[in-house]
Structure 1
Amino acid sequence: MFIPYIRKTLPGLALTLLLATAALLLATLPALQKLGLSALTLAIVGGIALGNSVYPMLAPRCDSGVQLAKQRLLRLGIVLFGLRLTLQDIAAVGPAGVLIDVVMLSSTFLLACWIGPRWFGLERDSAMLIGAGSAICGAAAVLATEPVARGGAEKVAVAVATVVVFGTLGMFLYPGLYALAQAAGLHGLDSRHFGLFAGSTLHEVAQVVAAGRAVSEQAAEVAVIAKMMRVMMLAPFLLLLSAFQARRERGDTAGTTRRLTIPWFAVGFVVLAGVNSLGWLPPAWRAGLLQLDTLLLAAAMGALGLHTQVSAIRRAGLAPLGLAACLCGWLIVGGALVNAGVGVLLK
């Protein structure tokens, strides 16, 4: 029974891992690094390219393995993602950084859930996916939220596309805003404050690194720590969202009961963050597991791309981009206000 399963899934699994490996190699190119394009983004782009060309011919042999990558490898990748964080990261950003991250994450996601259906006519699951990607950590958050929101491959691809578009825009815009603030005489906005602002509002980790380094190395360091704090909030966010979904579905189906679905991969994420905090893993093991984590997440993104049809994204229309644009505006303007307000409050 086990050997037939391997034979059934191996071709598709090999295809997604090949896509992931190619994305990892491309992500090391200086030109793509300057653009802030991570291996995850490159993997889904490559998957979409193949999915809309040769993959339909390969699907009968490969689809089982691709489904495995999109589901099981994704969850394992999210668990291993916890090794990027430590409890010491929280102490490094201080109470102000933690409070800013909590306010920006919750406000951005709730804003998405409110204006997505009302202003743009989006289904709630689409709004949730776009909100999670904008509020937490980009494509990885969209992928992690999908099993709870149950949005489907096409909606996930649309949400990831919005993260890429507006995260890339913000990556180039933020250093310019910093230069304008300095020219206007706002010298209270130093590298550390800019790092907190970028880390608490930009979408992807790679984009945070690029924007921070465009200002200074100190700004990049603070920005990455603030960003990783947002990433660490992914697990409690998923647990709360799962509880909310279960309660909402109980209300929609009166007279029936539905057990709370606990996203166990989120629990594993927290456990490994704790393990990393204690320093139990040898550095070489941790480095190897982090490389494996990136490979697994890239494979999941490639699998998602293979199942994404450009026509489906086109059918989604301008509404997802409109929601993502509003969220981007809130992250910039609201994020600046929240950063300034918390700074005054905790001074």
Structure 2
Amino acid sequence: MTKQKAIGVGLTALLATIATLLAKVPGLTMVGPLILAIVIGMVVGNYTKAAQNGGEGIAFSSKILLRIGIILLGLRLNFFAIQGLGLTGFLYAIILSSIAFFTVYGLSRKLKMDPSFAVLLAGGTAICGAAAIAAIAPVVKAQEKAVALSIATIALIGTLFTLIYTGLYPLLVPEDKPYGIFAGGTLHEIAHVVGASSIGGAEAENHAIIVKMLRVMLLLPLMIFIMWWFERKKKVAQSFSFRKLPIPWFVFGFLAMSLVQTFGFLHEDAVQWLLGIAYFLLAMAMAGLGLNVKFRAFQEIGPRLFLAGLGGTIVLVLFGALLIPLLF
């Protein structure tokens, strides 16, 4: 490992450690280490010269370690554990994720945003925030600026709605199980879901996490759909074939880890340990992304991103509430 690479990797590891520790502070738990890492990275990148000699290592963290983290994140998915809500739970997740994706994408394009920005923000809103954005980014070959700004926008909107849910809990869906389903189906980050659903008790939190996992399951088909969509647009005049899709190798790794968890090939303690590594690697990747983003980038596209994300989230929340009495 070269000196420049070591400096960059070491810096992202340090920022990830700080973010992980801060995420345990009351009030910051709902934000989570991934969001904190990218925010800290942006502050350090804009106001210090710490990243000046670590470009190679920062790129390694934000690209290679990102993919390894996403692969290990597949261990969160246990296909047997989500059977409790049955077909209606899966249908709820599919409908809401589809509505969120196409609403945010449509609003983003109406606001004349670049397609890569639109897809990242739409995917983050529809599936699981920062992790989904990070997974989709290599598929659409998004620039680091687009990834960082999309994650920051999702974090801000998700945190805002988490606070609203917590404050208005008795008025939203006062029963524990429906409230948990609602929170899991409409909030972006897993940290947001846990933070907002905990006020409803153990039953609400359990159902919220299950619905959230159903949405996370949709990450793989969404990535394949996005690859097909982008490739089809590039090859309008050519014959299209699914065999020609440039599917990233980490997609198969993610699926393999999901199967490992589903069939119990690893002890639960080992799974939790590996998930801890996954989130730390993702925090390093987020710190690396943040280090390369300049605050002036927000002035160019930030307001439009926020409007698209906010509009899509409001639509998601409304449909999430309307579907509960129909499906459950």
Deviations 1:222-242 (A, max 9, x none): 101111111121112112211
Deviations 1:71-126 (A, max 9, x none): 111111000001112012320222111111011111211122222112x1112111
Indicate yes or no: 2:85 matched with 1:93. Answer: yes
CA distance in structure 1 between the aligned counterparts of 2:60 and 2:131, rounded to whole angstroms: 17
* Contact residue 75 and residue 144 of structure 1 kept, 8 A: yes
AA aligned opposite 2:36: L
Q: Residue 16 of structure 1: which of 6, 12, 15 is its match?
A: 12
CA distance in structure 2 between the aligned counterparts of 1:210 and 1:229, rounded to whole angstroms: 18
- SS of 2:31's partner is coil
* Contact residue 100 and residue 122 of structure 2 kept, 8 A: yes
AA aligned opposite 2:312: L
CA distance in structure 1 between the aligned counterparts of 2:84 and 2:327, rounded to whole angstroms: 16
Which residue in the other structure is 1:46 paired with?
40
The 10-residue stretch of structure 1 (262-271 or 302-311) with the greater mean CA deviation from structure 2? 262-271
Which residue in the other structure is 2:21 paired with?
25
Structure 2 counterparts to residues 219-234 of structure 1, below 5 A: 219-234=204-219
* Contact residue 85 and residue 228 of structure 1 kept, 8 A: yes
1:52/1:334 CA distance change after superposition, 3 Å: same
Fraction of identical pairs, as percent: 35
CA distance in structure 1 between the aligned counterparts of 2:224 and 2:249, rounded to whole angstroms: 9
1:204/1:264 CA distance change after superposition, 3 Å: same
Indicate yes or no: 2:143 matched with 1:149. Answer: no
Which residue in the other structure is 1:133 paired with?
124
* Contact residue 107 and residue 312 of structure 2 kept, 8 A: no
Q: TM-score, normalised by structure 1?
A: 0.89
CA distance in structure 2 between the aligned counterparts of 1:162 and 1:341, rounded to whole angstroms: 31
The 10-residue stretch of structure 1 (101-110 or 313-322) with the greater mean CA deviation from structure 2? 313-322
* Contact residue 154 and residue 308 of structure 1 kept, 8 A: yes
Bigger Rg, structure 1 or 2: 1
1:281/1:336 CA distance change after superposition, 3 Å: same
1:103/1:139 CA distance change after superposition, 3 Å: same
The 10-residue stretch of structure 1 (106-115 or 42-51) with the greater mean CA deviation from structure 2? 106-115
CA distance in structure 2 between the aligned counterparts of 1:266 and 1:206, rounded to whole angstroms: 23
Indicate yes or no: 2:164 matched with 1:168. Answer: no
Structure 2 counterparts to residues 286-305 of structure 1, below 5 A: 286-305=271-290
Unaligned 5+ segments in structure 2 are none
CA distance in structure 2 between the aligned counterparts of 1:213 and 1:40, rounded to whole angstroms: 20
CA distance in structure 2 between the aligned counterparts of 1:247 and 1:230, rounded to whole angstroms: 25
AA aligned opposite 2:98: S
CA distance in structure 1 between the aligned counterparts of 2:254 and 2:303, rounded to whole angstroms: 34
Q: TM-score, normalised by structure 2?
A: 0.94
Which residue in the other structure is 2:270 paired with?
285
* Contact residue 12 and residue 61 of structure 2 kept, 8 A: yes
1:255/1:9 CA distance change after superposition, 3 Å: same
Aligned length: 326
1:39/1:157 CA distance change after superposition, 3 Å: same
- SS of 1:318's partner is helix
Which residue in the other structure is 2:60 paired with?
68
CA distance in structure 2 between the aligned counterparts of 1:58 and 1:310, rounded to whole angstroms: 15
Which residue in the other structure is 1:185 paired with?
none
CA distance in structure 2 between the aligned counterparts of 1:17 and 1:317, rounded to whole angstroms: 27
CA distance in structure 1 between the aligned counterparts of 2:17 and 2:201, rounded to whole angstroms: 31
AA aligned opposite 2:97: L
Which residue in the other structure is 1:308 paired with?
293
1:317/1:16 CA distance change after superposition, 3 Å: closer
AA aligned opposite 2:307: G
Shift, 1:53, TM fit? 1.5
RMSD of aligned residue pairs (Cα, Å) = 1.8
- SS of 1:30's partner is coil
Q: Residue 330 of structure 1: which of 295, 298, 315 is its match?
A: 315
